[in-house]
Amino acid sequence: MYDVTAGIESHDGGRRVVCTVPLPVEPAVVFDAVATGEGISSWFVPCALEPQVGGRIVQFADPGAPDPTAGPEAAAEALLTATVGEITEYTPPAAGAPGRFVYAERDWMGEGVPVPPWETSCEVVSDGEGGTVLTLRSGFGSEGQLAAESVDGSVDGWRHALTVLAHRLTHRPADGVVTVDAATDPVRLTVPLLWDRVMGRLVAPAAGVGAAGPAGSGDDDEGAVARSGEVGGIVAASSGASATILLSAPLDGVVELYAFPAGETPESATHHAAVAVRVYEYVTVPGGGDEPLGAAAVDGVEPTWDAPRWRAWLDELAAPAE
């Protein structure tokens, strides 16, 4: 659907995810999308950064954490599970030269845990025809079991995230993005069983005869129609227990749907799971124009559906059969 390529690169003793995606906007717009807090928040996770070498980048990826923009107390609690990195390169594209944005996260497994730094780089290069090729690399400068497990496990996540970015910059490049997060309470099921239940209700009724495989079986869901209640769209990317759906209703945007282990203890999490969404809704920017936006996340615009309404929809998908 979008030409996002993602794989593993082992080079110079390191191990990294490498992703590329062509985008139909100028390099400066793509750089703003991948190297500003408002840009990263519009396609990945809530983010704040200082746009300079030596500046901090803080990303709030925990689905159970409070919204860091909800106030000082919520921000302080969200910081407990946020990842913090240092920007090591910040070079906007200029005069035909590529742009590069690089940051390193040294405490990505927790403060004081002795692990190698996790480095992520984004390079934006003009395609010579008004568009851009974005190349993202993320991983370690060393090999080993930790690198293999951690880096290899992040390939699909980056592919889904870049699909979100590609859709907006192709479909609604001049518009802003408001985001909503919602999740169910844990249910007594493993992640695979809960995911099969959710995708069976979301995809199977609309996929029809001749679908490539059972709903929830991974890449086979890509391109399928997804519909449940008032929510409908097309599955653009699917892997493991996650799916990226391009919405046609109840709003214009993208939803990332995923299941995850959820329990008060590691033992409990082995047989409890929850399902969550992160919704990226396209909205008109107050005072905006027709020029493409990279830093697209906006505040002060109410979403079509708030978190409780999305949660009610998730609860229906995750509920046991009557």
Q: Are 218 and 240 in contact (CB under 8 A)?
A: yes
pLDDT in tens, 28-46: 999 999 999 999 999 999 9
Could you tell me what percent of the chain has a pLDDT over 90?
A: 72
**Closest residue by Cα to residue 294 from 24, 68, 2:** 24
pLDDT in tens, 78-131: 777 788 999 999 999 998 899 999 999 988 877 788 888 999 999 999 999 999
Asked whether residue 31 falls in the same domain as residue 164, the answer is yes
Asked whether residue 103 falls in the same domain as residue 16, the answer is yes
Q: Residue 87 sits in which domain range? A: 5-171
**Closest residue by Cα to residue 297 from 76, 101, 38:** 38
The residue-averaged pLDDT of 218-228 equals: 84
| DSSP bridge pairs for 178 | 281
Global pTM reads 0.91
Q: How far is CA 106 from CA 9, 77, 101, 115, 116, in A?
A: 21, 20, 17, 7, 7
Q: How far is CA 198 from CA 161, 310, 314, in A?
A: 21, 14, 9
Write the CATH number for 64.
3.30.530.20
Q: How far is CA 294 from CA 77, 253, 289, in A?
A: 29, 16, 13
Q: Are 63 and 93 in contact (CB under 8 A)?
A: no
- Alpha carbons 293 and 296: distance in angstroms, whole number: 6
Three-state SS at 213:
coil
Q: Which of 147, 171, 195 is the last residue of a domain?
A: 171
Asked whether residue 157 falls in the same domain as residue 43, the answer is yes
The helix or strand, by DSSP H or E, that contains position 197, with its residue range, turns out to be helix 191-202
Say what the pLDDT of residue 218 is.
54
Tell me how many domains the chain contains: 2
Cis peptide before 250 (omega within 30 of 0): yes
Q: Which of 123, 155, 171 is the last residue of a domain?
A: 171
Asked whether residue 242 falls in the same domain as residue 194, the answer is yes
Asked whether residue 98 falls in the same domain as residue 151, the answer is yes
Q: How far is CA 145 from CA 14, 148, 209, 232, in A?
A: 12, 5, 42, 40
**Closest residue by Cα to residue 317 from 160, 223, 194, 189:** 194
Asked whether residue 21 falls in the same domain as residue 149, the answer is yes
Asked whether residue 156 falls in the same domain as residue 185, the answer is no
Asked whether residue 212 falls in the same domain as residue 110, the answer is no
- Alpha carbons 261 and 275: distance in angstroms, whole number: 9
pLDDT in tens, 176-208: 999 999 999 999 999 999 999 999 999 954 444
Confidence of residue 74 (pLDDT cuts 50, 70, 90): confident
Say what the pLDDT of residue 204 is.
57
Asked whether residue 131 falls in the same domain as residue 227, the answer is no
The residue-averaged pLDDT of 232-251 equals: 97
- pLDDT of 68 > 90? The answer is no
Asked whether residue 106 falls in the same domain as residue 196, the answer is no
Owner of token pair 């059972």: 214
Structure tokens at 266: 């590691």
What's the mean pLDDT when you consider all of the chain?
90
- pLDDT of 209 > 50? The answer is no
